[in-house]
Structure 1
Amino acid sequence: MKTKLQHAPMTAFPIIDGEIYAGGHPISRLALRAGQTPFYVYDRHIMTEKVKQLREHFPSSLELHYAIKANPMPAVVQHLSQLTDGLDVASMAELQVALHSGANPAHISFAGPGKTDKELTCALAAGVVINMESESEMERIAAIGQASDLEPHVAIRINPDFELKTSGMKMGGGPKAFGVDAERVPAMIQRCLQLGLNLKGFHIFCGSQNLRADAIIEAHNNTFELAYRILQESGVQLEWLNIGGGLGIPYFPGEAPLDLSPIADNLTRLMGIAEEKIPDTRIIMELGRFLVGESGLYVSKVIDRKLSRGANFVITDGGLHHHLAASGNFGQVIRKNYPVTIANKADLPPQSTTHIVGPLCTPLDIIADSVELPEVAVGDLIAVYQSGAYGFTASPRDFLSHPHPVEILV
């Protein structure tokens, strides 16, 4: 089935004289600035606008945190640390990037189900909040804190007894490696207090990449009710409640941007109730892909063309080793094309059906399959939209030992 160019997600990048611009610069010039193709380019203005969009829609008291895993490029983290209220990390390397950004350690949280003693020690010394994922991790944190004479600041990541319906990636409900089952949390709280840990709050997150407002609203309702239920049973107070993120962005044909208005209205209602039930508790929404996904382009250069049994193939110098998600090998059950175009011919009408592939010796190395594009020539630049999240660092860059891409922020 043919997939035509998808224009809805492309509007953030203007097209001037037939060429895509990012950060006020044409892509061909940015290729010279990058010094090579392939490269990733991220537009800081688009990130700023995404944060502004959330600030305008959501209650002013809702704190926004950036989940670094979506895009840990230090310059990106530095930019977003100045716009958001905190950062979330999932490794010691990400923690160092967060600390170097100048973010307040008290507003940095450290999540992940397999933290090593080395990582826990680093987190304790830095003074960040550790999202505890198990009872045994709690015991290790207490032991490290006692041995190092450091006070542990902790939160409990809760595996809820519900899920985020229609979520692209479910991370809660049922048996999960993430967090502590909700029914086990009250007992864990009591043990946490016995160990003298400074319990700051809960992290309740059940799924990501969701484009249905009704599903997100239902998850938010369940999240607050779960927090109230556990707090009533345990008798503790929270400094903060992290309700996760899950806000999706459109990638594929038929997908529309998430409608924030009903989500915002429901959050206003929920936070009004929270002011009465859990006063002085900060409510945090933790977002990654929503803040950076639409800000990025992955750009590669056409190095060859060929005709094979009636099918047009375009071979570029980039592929799945640089952008695993766009190749369809990062969680897709049925492969779909990310929106693509010829960056230097972006205003021309389609001329033929084309298969865009990378240079790797594997049939999995597909950038776009059966797309209608203008006539493609060697030297043209292929741009993959929606590439600001889970691109560079989520890809097997050493596969087949080809050169790595570079990243630039404009």
Structure 2
Amino acid sequence: MNLSTTILTTSLKDYCSSNGEIVVGNHPLTHIEKLVSGTPFYAYDRQLIINRVKQLTDALPAKISLHYAIKANPLPSLVQLMATQVSGFDVASKKEMLLAMQTGMPTDKISFAGPGKTVEDIETAIIAGVTLHVESAGEIAKVELAAKQLSVKANIAIRINPKFELKSSGMKMSGGAKPFGIDEEQVPDILQKLNLEQINLRGFHIYSGSQNLNADAIISAQQQTFMLAEELVALSRKITKRKIDYLNIGGGFGIPYFAKEMSLDVKAIANSLQILLKKHKALVDDLEVIIELGRYLVAEAGIYVSKVIDKKISRGTNYLVCDGGLHHHLANSGNFGQVIRKNYPVAIGNKLNGEVQELVNIVGPLCTPLDILADKVLLPKATIGDYVVIFQSGAYGSSASPKDFLSQPQVSELLL
């Protein structure tokens, strides 16, 4: 099989049938196209998600609870599947909260994070019994007022902005000044001022960053997280005279997107967590320890598929023009957090065995030079009507993209 080096081996083997055809849930691309009435589309493999969750939960200590961060992929059918696989959900909006509730997940297993919650967000979370991960003193004041007006006690956890950061992280969300969480040095004053008549303090949320492939960096952040948690829980019990229910230590587990990136060493993290749980036994014995993940659970279980609708040569450069682009898959275009644009793994879906190859730029249909699917990739020679497949597309795809940009047709999504 003569394959482009832009395809990650792990991605290809998960989707390649015995006859060298790309399939999702045993369905070839031609069949999926008929199911959704055309391209472009996202297709997610149910079994790959189930396998990923099982591999992770088998590796992690039994004490750890796994929650799914819905923002990674909020497709309703996928969220319903995740409800059968994980212990809880993290949501970042009222819409996500209602989606999580519709799965039958107990509301005390749903947390609501984000620095800009509206009064409506807060009121609905209180009514539902969802735990608000509060991110400022001002937000706590809103929660207390809403709880009083509703005559319903509010469940909260305090999201902490620790002094340390998660090194090597794709997106750093702690250390220094951040819009996320309450600075750890402010917590003593926050605890002193809590109105425990209106608020039930359920726990602490210490989340440092995302998309990290460095196991040592994650282990270091978790070690610091547990040390900080010892101080916070002791302080909370001293001031409030009440125990907390859980400690959410965040996630940060990344996946490889680009050439030369290696998969995260989850086993090393799991071994370190086992040591940490023993070291901090007195802390964790009577509370739940939660790891919250999104991308790591679903990203490698999805592909984005568009179709070549034109070919052209411009001053010696070969272009494949597709019917899908950045309006459906902003992250792949390089306009969603990349500093220097790199190619996601890509293939000509119906020509994995193509012997004749060519160097091409693959672009979308939009009137902007930002609409790039792949840049300078060596692939089997494509013709009009061929599929272009972008791997690693199960997270931050459709829902993280400007789908209405230039009023192009919408993208389909299907869980198979």
Range of TM-score over shorter length: over 0.9
Aligned to 1:42: 44
1:18, distance to aligned residue in structure 2 (A): 3.2
1:274, distance to aligned residue in structure 2 (A): 3.0
Q: Is 2:6–2:346's contact at 8 Å kept on the other side of the alignment?
A: no
SS in 2 for 1:300: strand
Aligned to 1:309: 315
1:341 aligns with 2:341: no
SS in 2 for 1:368: strand
**Equivalences for residues 378-397 of structure 1 within 5 A:** 378-397=384-403
> Which one-letter code corresponds to 2:49 in the other structure?
M
1:184 aligns with 2:186: yes
1:256 aligns with 2:262: yes
Q: Is 1:131–1:156's contact at 8 Å kept on the other side of the alignment?
A: yes
SS in 1 for 2:203: strand
CA distance in structure 2 between the partners assigned to 1:223 and 1:347 by the alignment: 48
1:195, distance to aligned residue in structure 2 (A): 5.0
1:277, distance to aligned residue in structure 2 (A): 2.8
Write out per-residue CA displacement over residues 365-397 of structure 1, whole angstroms, 9 at most, x where no aligned residue. Answer: 000000011010111111100000000010001
Question: Alignment partner for residue 292 of structure 1, among 290, 298, 307?
Answer: 298
Q: Is 2:148–2:198's contact at 8 Å kept on the other side of the alignment?
A: no
CA distance in structure 1 between the partners assigned to 2:371 and 2:165 by the alignment: 33
How many pairs does the alignment contain?
409
1:229, distance to aligned residue in structure 2 (A): 1.6
Q: How well do the aligned residues superpose, as a CA RMSD in angstroms?
A: 1.3
1:275, distance to aligned residue in structure 2 (A): 2.6
1:286, distance to aligned residue in structure 2 (A): 0.1
1:267, distance to aligned residue in structure 2 (A): 0.4
Unaligned runs of 5+ in 2: none
**Equivalences for residues 76-225 of structure 1 within 5 A:** 76-225=78-227
Write out per-residue CA displacement over residues 54-108 of structure 1, whole angstroms, 9 at most, x where no aligned residue. Answer: 1111001200000000000010100011100000000011011101111110000
CA distance in structure 2 between the partners assigned to 1:4 and 1:323 by the alignment: 18
CA distance in structure 2 between the partners assigned to 1:127 and 1:20 by the alignment: 44
> Which one-letter code corresponds to 1:210 in the other structure?
N
SS in 2 for 1:199: strand
> Which one-letter code corresponds to 2:336 in the other structure?
F
SS in 1 for 2:389: strand
Write out per-residue CA displacement over residues 192-215 of structure 1, whole angstroms, 9 at most, x where no aligned residue. Answer: 254541000000001000001100
CA distance in structure 1 between the partners assigned to 2:79 and 2:391 by the alignment: 20
SS in 2 for 1:12: helix
Aligned to 2:331: 325
CA distance in structure 2 between the partners assigned to 1:163 and 1:358 by the alignment: 37
**Equivalences for residues 1-16 of structure 1 within 5 A:** 4-16=6-18
Unaligned runs of 5+ in 1: none
1:152, distance to aligned residue in structure 2 (A): 0.2
SS in 1 for 2:275: helix
Aligned-residue identity in percent:
50
Q: 1:4 to 1:387 in 2, by over 3 A?
A: closer
Aligned to 1:280: 286
- Per the normalisation by structure 2, the TM-score is 0.96
CA distance in structure 2 between the partners assigned to 1:16 and 1:27 by the alignment: 15
CA distance in structure 2 between the partners assigned to 1:220 and 1:8 by the alignment: 27
SS in 1 for 2:350: helix
Q: Is 1:3–1:337's contact at 8 Å kept on the other side of the alignment?
A: no
Write out per-residue CA displacement over residues 258-286 of structure 1, whole angstroms, 9 at most, x where no aligned residue. Answer: 11111001101111233323421100000
1:270 aligns with 2:300: no
SS in 1 for 2:398: coil
